[in-house]
Amino acid sequence: MQSGRSVSRLEKNTTALNRKSRESYLILLASNDKEASQKLAMLLTDDGHTVWKTDNGAQLLETFDWQQPDIVIVDTDMPIIGANDATKLIKRLAGDSFIPVILMVPDADREAKVRYLEISGDDFINKSCIICNYQLVVAKIQALMRISKLYRKLEQQKDMLKNHQQMIFSEQQTARQLFEKFLHSPLLDSSGIRYLQSSMGIFNGDLLLAAHKPAGGLRVMVGDMTGHGLSAAVGSVPASEIFYSMTAKGYSISDILVEINQKLRRLLPTGNFCAASIIDFECGRQQVSVWNGGMPDVVLFDSCRQKIKEKIGSGALPLGVVDGDALNTSVVYVDIMPGDYIYLCSDGVTEARNPQGDMYGAQRLMDSIQRQGRKANAFDAIRRDFESFTDNEQISDDITLLEITCSRALIDHDDTADLQTHEKGKRPTAWSVELRLDADALRETDPRPLLTQLVMDLQDLQTHRDRLFTILAELFSNALEHGVLELDSALKNNHSGFIEYYEQRKQRLASLESGWIRISLEHIPVDCKGELHITVEDSGRGFDFQRHQAALSENTTHSGRGIALVRSLCQDLTFQGQGNSVRAIYAWGNCDPPH
Amino acid sequence: MSITSRISEDGREITIYIKGRFDFNSHQEFREHYESINHPGAKYIIDMSGAEYMDSSALGMLLLLREQAGEDKANIDIVQCRPEIRQILEIAHFHQLFKIH
């Protein structure tokens, strides 16, 4: 027979092909044409593939559902469920996987080929090809399988990426928690401070720090690192570390600014910096000192007269831009009343946009504070104004908005409550230290934190730290301001005088040529307790302390507060010499067992 | 956002024109412009007449320019600032570092 001869020739060819094709596939074949499908099945099986035959659409789908083949060959002439519908259903069952479908079409029907490819099939073969051009069939199968494999590879990569993304996300969440633990001060959650903070991404490039100073009074810092995200947040770690440790040791705002500036200058690449505003509440004096470098105005709201009383604008470069000497670290002093409120924010607030693209702006914020400041829940109202303007528009920067209630911030934080009467650990030992500072040193050095730390290191009196610092601070200030600089403390009795006083202090210190202060610390053990003898002498003329003795102890004005306070903390306070020397005795300890 | 520039005949002065939003997207382009001149003591004129907005990364870019131009010896003029731009530069206290007109 003619066909028999062609088959045998074909058989030789397929054997050759068989050697070439390494892959073997699971092929699902659906056809009503018994002769055609049998021939095709035989050829494919000889080639090493596994062929499952079905003769109608329904059976095709059932088989497909049972086990997905690598490739499907569908005869367009098929009962029960037509080829088109069947193919569509197969594609749906395959879901995300790509399972090629080849349609067997009768030779004559040209439109059919176009139609089937358009609708659902991936390729087609003429029925006659099965016999006369089997190689084409094989080639098509190979081509489609290559595509299928590529598809599978893409799916795998997609899964890998997804897992990777999950991993990074959970790493970032952990890092974020670390940051928060590090940066977030519990003081922020105490009454007296209301705030709104939101970050653009997982990490916040805005800083919000708060601490109590050892001598009493709150210190708050709001910072804004350039940019946002992790690279911005990283700089906040050293900055906050410096803020907290130096505040605890009693350093001033200016000292802290110099340190943070230097650190960021060294650490951050050029172009990155930290805008910041810092506020210090001085308790006892109804005053704040403010530093603003690159931030929006710090606003003081007078709740008595129900209006904005003062705005402190940026007066210096942000931190990390220039070297130490070029940075202006001087602060502005502002008088406050207990009923006042202070508002700070980062530029994420003033530069936030609404859906129409308008910026909130400093003026709108001022208006909002002006309008809402008098209300009982002012902060919530101000926040609502802001949120209704931005109207859920996607935030494009980190946002910080803060309200401080002055009456709360001015309260001396109570350190007597947790004062332990029994000192654990170090026995009292005998030691002494003398420090002498001449004019140059007085200009450059602040010995108070240094000396306090020294006492802590030598005698471990941590629970007494604040009080010791206060004593040293007051005695030193006295010696410097009245003894060496010869400032008149009477100036401090009124508001404008206060500013004048500090101006004079700055000037006289800057131009100081001669003078000295000597501080001696002597520690004397007494049984299991101790006494710290602090002597401060200065090169000044002194004063008639005997005459002023009574006045001093009763004096509750600004200038007298210091000495009266020291007296209340010490066992003894005596002026000596010509009044240019003072000795304080601080007794600590308790020999009773702990309770 | 678009940035164009013009270098003087003698190659010692460049005027960079900023148009639109000057923000973190402008980084690459801005740098290419100011790096196209490499004369010690060169004068840089940053023309902000077309600039609508500046963010902190733009401030950072100016600092990078200043670094290239010799830090304290830099000769940089920032001119034709709209009120919004001027305000941003003032809050950042940049008049301490740049000549602003």
Which chain B residues are Cβ-neighbours of A274 within 8 angstroms?
A: none
- Cβ distance B35 to B66 under 8 Å? no
Give yes or no for residue A18 having a pLDDT over 60.
no
Q: Is B89 on the interface with A (CB under 8 A)?
A: no
Which chain A residues are Cβ-neighbours of B94 within 8 angstroms?
A: 317
Tell me how far apart the alpha carbons of residues B68 and B34 are, in angstroms, rounded to a whole number: 9
**Side by side, which strands form the sheet with A26-30?**
A50-54, A26-30, A71-75, A101-105, A123-126
Look at the block and give the residue holding tokens 């997982």.
A202
Q: Which of A270, A314, A322 lies closest to B91 in CB terms?
A: A314
> pLDDT confidence of A554, banded at 50, 70, 90?
low
Which chain B residues are Cβ-neighbours of A295 within 8 angstroms?
A: 91
Question: What is the model's pLDDT at position A1?
Answer: 43
Q: How far is B90 from chain A (nearest CA, A)?
A: 8
**By mean pLDDT, which of A19-23, A95-99, A445-449, A535-539 is the weakest?**
A19-23
Q: Which of A226, A275, A315 lies closest to B57 in CB terms?
A: A226
Instruction: Report which secondary-structure segment, H or E, holds A384.
Output: helix A378-390
Q: Report how far apart, in Å, the C-alpha atoms of A200 and of each of A37, A356, A538 are.
A: 63, 20, 55
Q: Which of A270, A272, A294 lies closest to B91 in CB terms?
A: A294
Tell me how far apart the alpha carbons of residues A76 and A86 are, in angstroms, rounded to a whole number: 10
Question: What is the model's pLDDT at position A4?
Answer: 45
Q: Which of A227, A293, A317 lies closest to B56 in CB terms?
A: A227
Q: Which residue of B has its CA nearest to A271?
A: B60
Q: Which residue of B has its CA nearest to A317?
A: B93
Amino acid at the residue A528: C
- Average pLDDT for A187-210: 86
Asked if this assembly's ipTM is beyond 0.90, the reply is yes
Give yes or no for residue A103 having a pLDDT over 90.
no
What percent of chain A is modeled with pLDDT above 90? 34
Tell me how far apart the alpha carbons of residues A502 and A497 are, in angstroms, rounded to a whole number: 9
Of the two residues A109 and A42, the one the predictor is more confident about is: A42
Q: Is B96 on the interface with A (CB under 8 A)?
A: yes
The dihedral built from the CA positions of residue A408, A412, A413 and A417, taken in this order, carries a sign that is: negative
Question: What is the model's pLDDT at position A5?
Answer: 45
CB contact under 8 A, B97 and A317: yes
Secondary structure (3-state) at B17: strand
Which chain B residues are Cβ-neighbours of A347 within 8 angstroms?
A: 56
> pLDDT confidence of A558, banded at 50, 70, 90?
very low
Tell me how far apart the alpha carbons of residues A468 and A100 are, in angstroms, rounded to a whole number: 84
Question: What is the model's pLDDT at position A556?
Answer: 45
> pLDDT confidence of A413, banded at 50, 70, 90?
low
- pLDDT lower than 70: segments of chain B: none
Q: Which of residues 12-71 of B touch A (CB under 8 A)?
A: 24, 55-57, 59-61, 63-64, 67
Which chain A residues are Cβ-neighbours of B59 within 8 angstroms?
A: 226, 273
Question: What is the model's pLDDT at position A186?
Answer: 79
- In this complex, how many residue pairs, one in chain A and one in chain B, have their CB atoms less than 8 Å apart? 52
Q: How far is A555 from chain B (nearest CA, A)?
A: 42
Token reading at A341: 């409120």
Say whether pTM exceeds 0.90.
no
| Average pLDDT of chain A to the nearest whole number | 83
Token reading at A564: 């009266």
The dihedral built from the CA positions of residue A28, A30, A33 and A34, taken in this order, carries a sign that is: positive
Return the C-alpha torsion angle A571, A576, A580, A586, nearest 10.
-20
Q: How far is B24 from chain A (nearest CA, A)?
A: 8
- Cβ distance A102 to A73 under 8 Å? yes
Which chain A residues are Cβ-neighbours of B21 within 8 angstroms?
A: none
- Cβ distance A478 to A582 under 8 Å? yes
Q: Which residue of B has its CA nearest to A275?
A: B92
- Cβ distance A287 to A335 under 8 Å? yes
Token reading at A582: 């003072």
DSSP state of A511: T
Angle between helices A134-183 and A230-248 (to 10 degrees): 20
Of the two residues A242 and A464, the one the predictor is more confident about is: A242
CB contact under 8 A, B56 and A293: no
Mutate to test the interface with B, among A317, A325, A365 (most CBs of B within 10 A): A317
Return the C-alpha torsion angle A355, A360, A364, A370, nearest 10.
100
